[in-house]
Amino acid sequence: DQQVKQNSPSLSVQEGRISILNCDYTNSMFDYFLWYKKYPAEGPTFLISISSIKDKNEDGRFTVFLNKSAKHLSLHIVPSQPGDSAVYFCAASEGNTDKLIFGTGTRLQVFP
Amino acid sequence: DVKVTQSSRYLVKRTGEKVFLECVQDMDHENMFWYRQDPGLGLRLIYFSYDVKMKEKGDIPEGYSVSREKKERFSLILESASTNQTSMYLCATRQGDSPLHFGNGTRLTVT
């Protein structure tokens, strides 16, 4: 049973526009969430995180929003750039622990 | 910067072979992990280790074992490879509350 779901396998966005990647979770005990980015032939790299005491965290062009009541988080990339084209994984855990549960990933393509 | 090195980028093995996947890190991190990545399933945790000679099962340990004889090295062992173990294998490290640092992965094909 997938506890962390990314229902959109792919997303295509024009350069300069906003990219919104979504993630839903089912376990109400999850209280720490992360986004990772993965280029082909490379390992995932950490992008941004948020704990459940906040509903928004921002880092440059990347903002993560958390809606605890809906068990939903989203990653906004503004403005999108071609270099953002990658697979994005959300992940969740109970506390900032070692047992992360990853979503299935969304492939983002940013075209000129 | 943390460097996590996986010894092989690509491996092709036959069903029934014993397979070793090696991972070495250079930043003295305590915790090391093995994940596999499959289309439509994301990343799933196989095993992790908090210290030398210590190991903990992840979510899908069946068919795998691990070895951590030195702090910097964490090996994943497939005792008898099967075709359903064809996958991308990712090693990662972590220190304290920091995010995971991943290696570039080993794509294993079992025929």
Per-residue pLDDT tens, chain A, 112 aa: give them.
789 999 999 999 999 999 999 999 999 999 999 999 999 989 999 999 999 999 999 999 999 999 999 999 999 999 999 999 999 999 999 987 788 999 999 999 999 9
Q: Do the chains contact at A41 and B45, CB–CB below 8 Å?
A: no
Give the integer Cα–Cα distance in Å for A66 and A53.
Answer: 10
CA distance B73 to chain A (A): 18
- For chain B, say whether A90 makes contact (Cβ under 8 Å): no
- Cβ within 8 Å, pair A102-B42: yes
pLDDT tens digits along B14-56 = 999 999 999 999 989 999 999 999 988 999 999 999 999 999 9
For A88, nearest residue in chain B (alpha carbons): B42
Strand-pairing partners, residue B56, are B48
pLDDT at A96: 74
Calculate how close chain B gets to A80, using CA atoms only, in Å: 24
pLDDT on residue B78: 97
Q: Do B104 and A41 touch (CB under 8 A)?
A: yes
The string over A80-110, giving b where at least 16 C-beta atoms fall within 10 Å of a residue's C-beta and e elsewhere, is: beeebbbbbbbbbbeeeebebbbbbbbebeb
Q: What are the E-state strand segments in chain A?
A: 4-5, 10-14, 19-25, 32-38, 45-51, 56-59, 62-67, 72-77, 86-93, 101-102, 106-111
A 15-54 residues inside an 8 A Cβ radius of B: 34, 36, 41-46, 49
Q: Is A66 on the interface with B (CB under 8 A)?
A: no
Minimal C-alpha gap between A44 and chain B (Å): 6
Q: Which of A43, A96, A104 sits opposite B102 (nearest CB)?
A: A43
B50-105 pLDDT, tens digit per residue, is: 999 999 999 999 999 999 999 999 999 999 999 999 999 999 999 888 899 999 99
Q: What angle do CA A16, A21, A25 make, to 5 degrees?
A: 165
Q: Per residue in B5-14, pLDDT tens? A: 998 999 999 9
